[in-house]
Chains A and B, each alone.
Chain A
Amino acid sequence: MFTIISRILHFGAKNFWRNGWLSTATVAIMTLAALVFVGLVMFGVVTHAAASAIEDKIDISVYFKTTTSEDQILSIQKSLEQLSQVASVDYVSQAQALTTFQQQHANNQTISQAISELDTNPLEASLNIKAKDPSQYGAIDQYLSSSSLSQYIDSISYSQNQSVINRLATIVRDVNVGGWAITIFLALVAGLVVFNTIRLAIYSNREEIGIMRLVGASNLLVRGPYIVEGVLWGAIAAVASLILVAPAVYFVSPYLAAFIPGLDIFQYFYTNIAFLFLYQLLFGCVIGVFSSSWAVQRYLKN
């Protein structure tokens, strides 16, 4: 068995080297497919970051009547935190609201003077609520609008921003679903192109396969070297695509960071380079091995 395996490896490597043009053409196609593959992974990262950035901007604020005590607000905060749809609830007291207001209008003399002349703090305490999913703000709004809580609440920002929030939620959902659809579609296209390229490469060797069979070579000895070639094509394509992608990501990264704050695609690429290589290697090798085995199989009869 060891002799057979070493012969298969030897024949596969030799065929790869001697069929120089065929190997180059196949590796080129597989590199393009691997580029599509790694491009899709990066696209996924960008769309996810974009969706998260949008999600981060969405929240609803509940403003409490000035007559509502802090204890009552904190108990409402607790009850909100227990809701399954809620990700976080931040309490902004009347004093904090005033400080923030003063800071924001520090340059406006008229407003600063007007505030300092007041005896009481006119600003309301509030709770800023973030949902786990943007589509769940409606349910949180309904909970807050229930009769037991409405006596403490002056206003809820959701009602004012409902259409904008719903719009953003739709965009986030569409970006995620669209990203997946494009990924699956392009991965299928890339897979089919590679599959057909390998089929053609093996079709051009069909007579050799017949000769090997006539000489008494077992199916393993005939098929094995083509599978080794498939693995070599896939591995070299994986390396080549990473070499091509690295400078492109480095160049594009600052532009994307300006577009989506907090996204450093080059950093992501750099820290995940081993996984990306492994994914591409797996993609290349699996498709190489599968296509080669399938294409050779039909010539292994008689």
Chain B
Amino acid sequence: MIVFQGVSKHYSDRGIALEDASFQIDQGEFVSLAGRSGAGKSTIIKLLIGEERPSKGRIFFGQYEVNKLQDNELPAFRRHIGVVFQDFRLLPGKTAYENVAFALEAAGRPQREIADLVPQVLDMVGLGDKMKNFPNELSGGERQRVAIARAMIHRPEVVIADEPTGNLDPFHTFEIIKLLEKINQLGTTVLLATHDREVINELERRVITLDKGRIIRDEKKGKYILV
């Protein structure tokens, strides 16, 4: 479903971010991208969602060749993906309900469906009573749960999480990881980028390890090992 073929990303000012990365992720997998800060995890995610373009190589997502998508084709492509970021990236002027609803509104879903679905998903992430709160009225863990609800509400084929627990305490970290596992159990592919050793070791799922922009390990039931 996701294929990277010899993908490299070079920046004129920052040097090599990714070098000759090749891997494949199948439907329904839960894959962790492990590595230190600057190893190339976020670069892979940015390339996959079309936020950056590769210097070399090809990226496939289902029927899309991502590296060839035009700016005006990106919105429709991104509706196949749900993304969760370390800094939440919620719309500050919208309530929790409106933030989650926005993903469906962007996909052109009817208002009635939105009104039915949003409260259900917010309930599922444990925020049924905080639908009317704005992001600045929520804790870090709650904000991340809103972001996850937004990422999954339109039933995307893949949920991508870039350091989703980076700003959270251990309690909330495992809350978020459990939610991602739950989403994966429902059949959605999950790609998790993290440098959190405990999270990766606890998951016991496939781990792609990166170091200085290169893939150094790809194990079916991996652990957090950097050397």
Whether A associates with B in a native complex is: yes
A residues in contact (CB < 8 Å) with B: 3-4, 7, 15, 18-19, 207-208, 210-219, 221, 300-302
B51 interface residue (CB < 8 Å to A): yes
Chain A residues near B103 (CB-CB < 8 A): 215-216
Q: Which residues of B contact A (CB under 8 A)?
A: 49-52, 71-72, 74-79, 81, 83, 89-93, 102-103, 105-108, 110-111, 150, 154
Q: How far is the CA of A15 from the CA of B91 in the complex (A)?
A: 11
Please pick, from B72, B90, B108, B110, the residue contacting A211 in the complex, using a CB distance under 8 A: B90
Given contacts A208-B91, A214-B78, A217-B75, contact A302 B51 (CB under 8 A): yes
Complex interface: chain A residues within 8 A of B107 (CB): 216
User: Are A211 and B91 in touch, CB under 8 angstroms?
Assistant: yes
| A301 partner residues in chain B, CB cutoff 8 A | 71
Given A3-B108, A302-B50; A218-B75 close (CB under 8 Å): yes
27 residue pairs A–B, Cβ–Cβ below 8 Å: A3-B108, A3-B110, A3-B111, A208-B91, A210-B89, A213-B75, A213-B78, A214-B49, A214-B83, A215-B78, A215-B83, A215-B102, A215-B103, A215-B106, A215-B150, A216-B76, A216-B77, A216-B79, A216-B81, A216-B103, A217-B105, A218-B106, A219-B72, A219-B75, A221-B105, A302-B51, A302-B74
Q: Which of the residues B51, B52, B90, B106 comes within 8 Å of A216, measured between beta carbons?
A: B106
B78 near A216 with CB under 8 A, answer yes
Closest chain B CB from A217 CB (angstroms): 4
Q: Shortest CB–CB separation between residue B211 and chain A, in angstroms?
A: 27
Whether the pair A214, B102 counts as a contact (CB closer than 8 A) is no
In the complex, the chain B residue whose C-beta lies closest to that of A300 is: B71
Return chain A residues, CB-CB under 8 Å to B72: 219
| Beta-carbon nearest neighbor of B106 in chain A | A217
Contact B102 A217 (CB under 8 A): yes
Identify the closest chain B residue to A3 (Cβ). Answer: B108
- Taken together as a complex, chains A and B put the C-alpha atoms of A19 and B134 apart, in Å, by 13
Which one, A208, A212, A302, contacts B106 given CB within 8 A? A212
When A and B form their complex, which 5 residue pairs have the shortest distance between CB atoms, in order from nearest?
Answer: A216-B79, A217-B106, A216-B78, A218-B75, A216-B106
What residues of chain B lie closer than 8 Å to A302, measured between beta carbons?
Answer: 50-52, 71, 74
Q: Contacts of B108 on A, CB cut-off 8 Å?
A: 3-4
- Complexed CA–CA distance, A301 and B51 (Å): 9
Within 8 Å CB of B49, what residues of A? 214
Contact, CB under 8 Å: B71 / A216 = no
Rounded to whole Å, the gap between the CB of B51 and the closest CB of chain A is 5
Q: Is the CB of B89 within 8 A of A211?
A: yes
- In the complex the two chains form, what is the Cα distance from A191 to B64 in whole Å? 44
Query: Which chain A residues border B110 with CB–CB below 8 Å?
Result: 3
